Structures are given as C-alpha cells and as structure tokens.
Amino acid sequence: MSTRRIPCVIMRGGTSRGPYFKASDLPSDIAERDRVLLAVMGSPHPLQVDGIGGTYIQTSKVAIVSPSQRDDADVDYLFAQVSVTEPIVDTKPNCGNMLAGVGPFAIEEGMVPVEGPETRVRVFNVNTGALVEETVQTPDGRVTYEGDQAIDGVNGTAAPIRMAFTNTEGAVTGALFASGNRQEEIEGIAVTLIDNAMPMMMLRAEAVGLAGDEPPEDIDAMRDLYTRLERMRLEAGRRMGLGDVSGLVTPKIGLLSAPRRDGTITSRYLTPHECHRSHAATGAICLATACSMDGTVAADVIGGPVRRSGTIVIEHPSGQIEVAVELAPGADGDTRVARAAILRTARRIFEGQVFVPD
C-alpha cells in the first residue's frame, strides 16, 4: 500500500489540540478530504491508535486554513470535528479554541504579514459565517508563544491572543432562537434552544438530577443520563431546523447551575456525548448571550438577565472562562450581543508531514 505525505502542524489552540492544514494540501473533494482526515486522526477507534488523534473530542479536531477572497477577511478557517469512535467528520460547528491557533498559523505560513508588535488577523469562519478579529503578539517581527497569560485548563502561561466575534447570531440555524421561543419544554424539562457562535440546548442541571458542579468523569459515567439527554437533543435539533442530528455534534448541551465562587454562572458543557474538561469558547459566547437575554433558562438560573455590557464569568470544571460582551438594542426592543470577546492562548507543538494511506 502506498502512502501520501501531507504537510501538517500540530497546535494547541485554547484548551483544544489538533492538526492545522493549509487547504491547498488537502483534497478538494469533500468525501475524499473527510476520508483523509479520518485516517490522519485514526478514527474510528477509541484510542485513535493508528493516527494522531488524542482520544477525546477536545483533541480530535482539525483546522483547515486558506487565504480569503473576501474583502473583510485575511484568511478562511474551516473547522472539522472528527469523531473518535464513528467514521464521521462534522463541519457544521465552529471551534473557538482551535480558532486561537489560526492567527499564529496564518502568520507563520506567510498568509498574513506581520504588522508590528501586534498583528491583526481577520478570520472568516467558513462553517458558520462568523467574522473574528484576532490580535496576535508579534514582537521582533515574528509570532511569539511565550507570555504571562494563563487560561484555566492549560498548564503554565503563554502569549495572549485576543479574539473578538461578530456576526454570530443564528449563524447555523438562521435565528438566535431558532424555534421561536426563549424557553420551552422537551420531555417535561424547561430548555432554551439558542444559536450564537454555537447552537446549544441549555437546561438546569437540577432538572436531570445533578448539582451542576460534578467532575466530568462522574457525569460521563452516567450513561442513562446521556441516553435521556440524547433523546432531548434529537428533538432540539429538529425544533431548531437542523433535521436529524444523530450523526452530528450540534447542538451542544449546557447543564447550568448557580455559581460556586465569584462567577456569573456554572456550566457543564456536553460535546454532546462526553463532558468537556473545561469549556468551549464558542459555547461560552452562546451561554454569555443567554445570560443577557430575558426569558432564557440561563437568565432564570442567575436571577435575571445581565443588563449591561461587561464581562460574564463562566465557571467550568477546570476553572473559569470570561466573555466580554457588548450589548446593543435588538429589533424587538430587547438586548442583543453585538460583539463578544475572549482571551485565549496557543502553542505550536509540531510541524512536519503526516503519512496517510493512499
């Protein structure tokens, strides 16, 4: 059997990790590209032993980057979630953590020139149509990954990467509240179905018998809980206009409860068949949006919506993630999130070639 060699860079982006490719190095045919990505990651196999996947959904992700033809963007970013145990490559969602590595990758691959001590990289997310402006540290004319910024869920410190999201409301479903309701019931449980940066089904943790601050491994051991939540998620996908989502990773699930420390809200983020060890960046933006909207489950959990622009602090299993939100009047007289910003870090881990069976 012959093999092909594909240039590859492995990076940590935020609290995720995976290979970054230039689009020109991958097949243009989508079916062939997906077969290549499954082989690269070693899926389907619980250990991904025949590839470079990391056996968790947070470490089985791929970023595909190319120069953009858009006037408002420098590069296009296509995110691919590769299932660990199924032969599925899902390109419907975005990943804000992997996005943190796109700016540095684009600069180092010569797609974006260095501007000075900081370089702005305008990223168009192909999956959702979102526009993201990344600010990357580039002292001495090159990307630096060293710095004093810490993020919960990652050891040590690194250079900060500021990411500001716009044009994310309803990016996947076409509407912020795709079902037309801010709160409704599925199997007798109050849920909010919302799409901002990431489609999600949100519910109180106590509604399914949880306190809401359980460790991820404890939640993952509750397979009856996942069976119940999957039935609800399938119905949520139908109501959100996504059709049959049984083979997809969206909508994600947020199990919400009151903060335990000095945060705004506590979240256990299901991806959807296991609990995130920290929290997705796009999921954090979606939850921050729900916290700012009247009538949502999130607003009920915190005793009413956050009515001012500022920082919403989400408590997760590894610590906290902060989302700076800029509110604006909505068409219906309520507030909307006009812009959301988060701070992430990234690290270039490996560069070389990955071997794929031809």
Same domain, 158 and 13: yes
Same domain, 154 and 199: no
**173 falls within a domain:** no
Q: 């070389």: which residue's tokens?
A: 352
Same domain, 328 and 350: no
**212 falls within a domain:** yes
**284 falls within a domain:** yes
Tell whether the model's pLDDT for residue 1 goes beyond 70: no
Same domain, 147 and 193: no
Chain centroid to Cα 87, Å, comes to: 21
Per-chain mean pLDDT for the chain: 95
Q: Tens digits of per-residue pLDDT, 43-72?
A: 999 999 999 999 998 999 999 999 999 999
State the Cα–Cα distance between residues 213 and 316, nearest whole angstrom: 8
- The answer to whether the CB of 62 falls within 8 A of the CB of 18 is yes
Same domain, 260 and 329: yes
Omega of the bond leading into 44 within 30 degrees of 0 (cis): yes
State the Cα–Cα distance between residues 193 and 184, nearest whole angstrom: 8
The pLDDT of residue 235 is: 98
Q: Kindly state the tokens that stand for 204.
A: 């109180």
Same domain, 119 and 215: no
Same domain, 223 and 352: no
The pLDDT of residue 329 is: 83
Same domain, 196 and 295: yes
Tell me the residue type at 231: R
pTM: 0.85
Longest CA–CA span in the chain (Å) reads: 63
Q: Kindly state the tokens that stand for 341.
A: 């910003």
| Residue 307: band (very low, low, confident or very high) from pLDDT cuts 50, 70, 90 | confident
Same domain, 134 and 35: yes
Burial 226-235 (b: 16+ CB within 10 A, else e): beebbebbbb
Same domain, 296 and 325: yes
CATH of the domain at 70: 3.10.310.10
Q: Which domain holds residue 16?
A: 3-168+345-357
The total domain count for the chain is: 2
Same domain, 266 and 236: yes
Query: Nearest Cα to 194, choosing from 174, 210, 213, 166?
Result: 174
Q: Kindly state the tokens that stand for 327.
A: 């509110």
**333 falls within a domain:** yes
- Provide the residue count of the chain: 358
Same domain, 114 and 153: yes
